[in-house]
């Protein structure tokens, strides 16, 4: 297939692009605005592959998106472009409304116009795959509850509200206009190339620098952790084999309390990069909780397992060890993000 991926320079997007180029014969056009979260250095390993192309563009720019569609002629669009950091959405929600809602609307309209002019065979085969988050469901209260594909939406933050809105737009374009869509809602991703302000890489890098390891509130918030390369495999399964109009929840079957995640990272670092004295756990520092912080997320991923045969390959223990090892081996990549040089270099891309 020819697959257009929006947000392919982000954390999950770049993992998906690498997976498609390294493990399939698909052609990929990566359309990314290159905000702070877009990093072309995450794609260095496949950047010169003849099946890969990159275009710097904003999904809200309907004319530019239409041009890319006309030139590339994709058979599928996988829409990952989004503002995605909860703390940033609390401090500045406008960017989340613009990208996640207005941008998704503009992309849907450009896609609909492109899809309508396809011949009947290509029109039937076309897919628009919208990648979303489990945060649209709000939080869970019981220890045994799980998010399913029919759980009512109850978003808590400007980020999750904007993603919920984008999900509703995609479903509306399917029901009203017949656009062949697929939706996925995933749990917390982690793994290589994760932006350093997110919990796991932040803790790893702070620990190595001897800085405090911040934990919100009492650290008892529970998340279901999904290794990003497992997620990439799941996304390929859905866009290739999923039923049009359906939603698939993707989870890692790895519920962990935030405090236990931080302690687990410290234990791995104590083993792999020990301090001169003491444990990294001594750096743990509890900080005031985030406003509206959801207590527990957990995914029922039974549908994607039953219908498409996908299950995660990594346990949290194996995935976290791979992740910590990757950061220890790739500190140059981290420093380029931390000092901003990745944005200046852009590997030849225009600013």
Residues annotated as catalytic (active site), given as ranges: 134-135, 159
Q: What would the two tokens of residue 236 be?
A: 């390929």
Nearest Cα residue to 301 out of 130, 148, 164, 150: 148
Task: Write the CB contacts of 258 (distance below 8 Å, at least 6 apart in sequence).
Answer: 199, 215, 216, 219, 220, 221, 222, 223
Q: How many CB atoms lie within 10 A of CB 176?
A: 9
| Cβ–Cβ under 8 Å, residues 214 and 284 | no
**Cα distance between residue 312 and residue 305, in whole Å:** 9
Task: Write the CB contacts of 83 (distance below 8 Å, at least 6 apart in sequence).
Answer: 35, 37, 89, 95, 96, 99, 100, 159, 162
| Cβ–Cβ under 8 Å, residues 167 and 132 | yes
**Cα distance between residue 9 and residue 345, in whole Å:** 14
- Phi/psi region, residue 3 (left: phi>0; alpha: psi -120 to 50; beta: rest), is beta
Q: Which helix (H) or strand (E) holds 223?
A: strand 222-227
């Amino acid at each position: 297939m020819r697959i257009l991926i929006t947000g392919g320079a982000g954390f999950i997007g770049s993992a998906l692009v690498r997976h498609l180029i390294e493990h399939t014969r698909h052609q990929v056009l990566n359309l990314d605005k290159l905000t702070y979260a877009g990093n072309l250095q995450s794609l260095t390993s496949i950047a010169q592959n003849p099946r890969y192309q990159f275009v710097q563009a904003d999904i809200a720019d309907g004319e530019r998106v239409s041009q890319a569609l006309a030139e590339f002629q994709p058979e599928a669009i996988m829409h990952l472009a989004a503002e995605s950091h909860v703390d940033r959405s609390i401090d500045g929600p406008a960017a989340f409304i613009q990208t996640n809602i207005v941008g998704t609307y503009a992309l849907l309209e450009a896609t609909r116009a492109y899809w309508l002019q396809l011949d009947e065979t290509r029109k039937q085969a076309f897919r628009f795959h919208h990648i979303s988050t489990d945060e649209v469901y709000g939080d869970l209260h019981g220890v045994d509850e799980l998010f399913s594909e029919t759980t009512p939406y109850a978003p808590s933050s400007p980020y999750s509200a904007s993603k919920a809105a984008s999900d509703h737009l995609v479903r509306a374009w399917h029901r009203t206009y017949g656009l062949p869509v697929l939706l996925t809602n995933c749990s917390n991703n982690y793994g290589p190339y994760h932006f350093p302000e997110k919990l796991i890489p932040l803790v790893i890098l702070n620990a190595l620098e001897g800085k405090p390891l911040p934990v919100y509130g009492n650290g008892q918030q529970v998340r279901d952790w999904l290794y990003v390369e497992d997620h990439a495999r799941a996304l390929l399964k859905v866009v290739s084999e999923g039923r049009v109009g359906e939603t698939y929840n993707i989870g890692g079957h790895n519920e962990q309390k935030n405090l236990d995640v931080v302690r687990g990272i410290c234990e791995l670092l104590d083993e792999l990069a020990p301090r001169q004295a003491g444990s990294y756990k001594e750096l743990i520092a509890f900080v005031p909780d985030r406003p509206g912080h959801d207590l527990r997320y957990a995914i029922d991923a039974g549908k994607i397992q039953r219908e498409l045969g996908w299950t995660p390959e990594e346990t949290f223990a194996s995935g976290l060890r791979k992740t910590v090892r990757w950061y220890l081996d790739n500190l140059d990549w981290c420093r380029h993000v931390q000092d901003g040089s990745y944005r200046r270099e852009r590997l030849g891309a225009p600013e």
